[in-house]
Chain A
Amino acid sequence: MLRRRLKTGFNALLPVFLLLLLLLVFLKYGPLGVFKASVPPIEEVFIQKVTFSPDHIVVDVINDGPEPVTIAQILVNEVFWQFHMAPSQTLNPLERGRIDISYPWVEGDVERITLVSRNGVTFETEVNVATVTPTFNFLYFKSFMLLGVYVGVIPVLLGLMWFPFLVTLRGKGYAFLLALTVGLLVFLGFDALSESFNLLKDVPESFNGVGIIVIGLLLAILSLSAVSYKTQHQRREKGEHYQALVWGYLIALGIGLHNLGEGLAIGSAYAIGEIALGSTLVIGFMIHNVTEGVAIVAPLTRTYKHINRFLFHLIMMGLLAGAPTILGTLIGGFAYSAAIAVLFLSIGAGAIFDVSFDILNHMAKGKWLEIFTVTNALGFLSGLLIMYVTGFLVVG
């Protein structure tokens, strides 16, 4: 018995051991010179963030390449300028640095910052509208909180208030509503996914943004599916009420994660002056997000007839879906990281896709072809269209 175990262990470890050996031999005798040929050094510096304070510009960078990089000179709007860099002007791979430039920048102007490496390679970034970066103080805390409440919490709760009306729908009407919900969700899922792909350009290459998306998306789908498989039996026992509640919460969770990502994007764009968050834009987000409330409440209308019975649950769902926007704007405004935004957006997309599939599965009841009724198709397309049209309001 023991011998057999030893043998199994040996078999499992042998390839690992051989790989290590091979690596050692390769490092010592291998043709590494091929890779180190006389090509110019590959220098990659990723500019993560530019922040403004009176007469100061601070640039956060990370060495995104395989070789150390030395920042030798800095140009602001094509003019060489004095700067201080911490911890040092030379960054090892994946090391972060902070560059402080004493520069009399002008509010509202375009400021272009160019880093010049020891070998004359340039790394450039442009801030379209320079404005003082908020520091963490109560005023900004309050405005970001409010922003989150307006954009996330209120619209979702408003959407939930359609419940009494939706309850009156029967038969085809109900089927239409469910299909519409799936349409809303699928649109939202793709929206989150495309948003996360858009953000990839802000993620240092070495972080492998696509990897983050794949992992986030599948993490959400697989873990939600596994949980629902595991609890399948239990749910069936507890009946339709319970099933509907679980859906409601799952949709709320998916939308919440999506809104967290959205909040991160809004907060950061606002903080670095990339968008002027005018009232029209906020209104646009509000209308757009009302539809999210509809999506949450739709599956519940069949089993819950009276809102007062589960008002508590509804409010919780509303908060679950909307409140993350607050968190998102706060994080985005004060400690933005594109990589984290990408992660949350892709998890959100995964959750949304998973729950859409669940609803479809429920509608199909095992007969998948019968799902393609005219009512369902129209409902689904209406869902997509509603999202598309309200999306215009956000372009602002």
Chain B
Amino acid sequence: MEFLTTWNFNNLPPDERQKFYKESTLPDGRTLREYWFHALDKEIEIAPGVFFPAWTYNGQVPAPTIRATEGDLIRIHFQNLGTKPHTMHFHGFHPIEMDGALPHQFVYPGETFVYEFDAEPFGVHLFHCHSVPISQHISKGLYGAYIVDPKHDTRPKPDKELIMVMNGFDTNFDEANEFYAVNTAAFYYAKNPIKVKVGELIRIYLINILEFDQINSFHLHAQFFYEYQTGTSLKPDFYTDITVMGQGERSILDIRFKFSGKIMFHAHKTEFAEQGWMGFFEVHE
């Protein structure tokens, strides 16, 4: 799945990418990153043969990832092509008019709104719809990753960067999830292991947006990782093999695999693992 390694629409050919993302330099020398987002009702496949009537940003769940460097100006042209009022509510600094959380900030079907704010603080953040009922707007699929890179980075440089959004789906609308996953598709990375190499630095931007059973976790087999909580420090907080997160919590994980082979990772709430939140790294020499 492309989502894992995609940000700022860098998976699209240049002319196609222009429709959704533009980068330019402001008079004061800063970088302006402009995005074109829209909300859209769309059916997505969340497990082999199982389809979910999702509410999406740009037709996908999670939304396309937004990535900037600390201090950049972010401008998002948001259009609601869906059937309910939606917003884009970002975690991070922004003027309160840009919060997208109050009823007068709701963007109604057919309307547009422009969100503008500086990218700060650095770290791994998220955005989601804050329309009501929030639990519904989140569980239907309106969320995505928002990464702000530090301006002066002293951390080791990663060889591979992966975005993992831990989510779930309540397909029968009983306020409990039937499917759990990283990046929507249940068991996707179990069937399509993520290929990496021994010794290279893998950086994971991990976000928990699970609705209903909101405590989630990430556990890696046969290996430990450095964890930077919320990614807001240049020094790791932990060296561990498991991290537990409430809804909206996130971390940066740095991994260097010691051994080759098929290495499992999953929620250490086994119920989630057995309902889709389980995958493998395929580590080569």
Contact = CB atoms under 8 A, between A and B. Distances in A.
Contacts of B28: none
29 contacts: A40-B53, A72-B49, A72-B50, A73-B49, A73-B50, A75-B275, A78-B271, A78-B275, A79-B274, A80-B47, A80-B186, A80-B187, A80-B274, A80-B276, A116-B47, A116-B178, A118-B49, A118-B50, A118-B51, A119-B50, A119-B51, A119-B171, A120-B50, A120-B51, A120-B169, A120-B171, A120-B172, A121-B172, A122-B178
B275 A89 contact: no
A118 B47 CA distance: 9
B28 to A, nearest CB: 50
B47 A73 contact: yes
Nearest to A70: B49
B49 A122 contact: no
A121 B274 CA distance: 19
Contacts of A117: 50
Counting from the closest, the 10 A-B pairs by CB-CB distance are A120-B171, A72-B49, A79-B274, A72-B50, A122-B172, A73-B50, A120-B52, A121-B172, A120-B50, A73-B47
B48 interface: yes
Contacts of B271: 78
Contacts of A78: 271, 274-275
A196 to B, nearest CB: 31
A13 B51 CA distance: 49
B128 to A, nearest CB: 21
A117 B52 CA distance: 11
Given A72-B47, A116-B171, A119-B171, A80 B53 contact: no
Contacts, number: 51
Which bracket fits the contact residues of A? 10 to 19
Given A72-B50, A116-B178, A122-B174, 13 more contacts: A70-B49, A73-B47, A73-B49, A75-B275, A80-B186, A80-B187, A116-B171, A118-B49, A120-B50, A120-B172, A121-B172, A122-B171, A122-B172
> In terms of DSSP, what is the predominant structure of the interface of chain A?
strand
A116 B45 CA distance: 13
A283 B218 CA distance: 57
Nearest to A78: B271
A117 B47 CA distance: 11
Nearest to B278: A80
B226 to A, nearest CB: 32
Contacts of B171: 116, 119-122
Contacts of B48: 72-73
Interface in B245-281: 271, 274-276
Contacts of A75: 178, 275
A89 B50 CA distance: 12
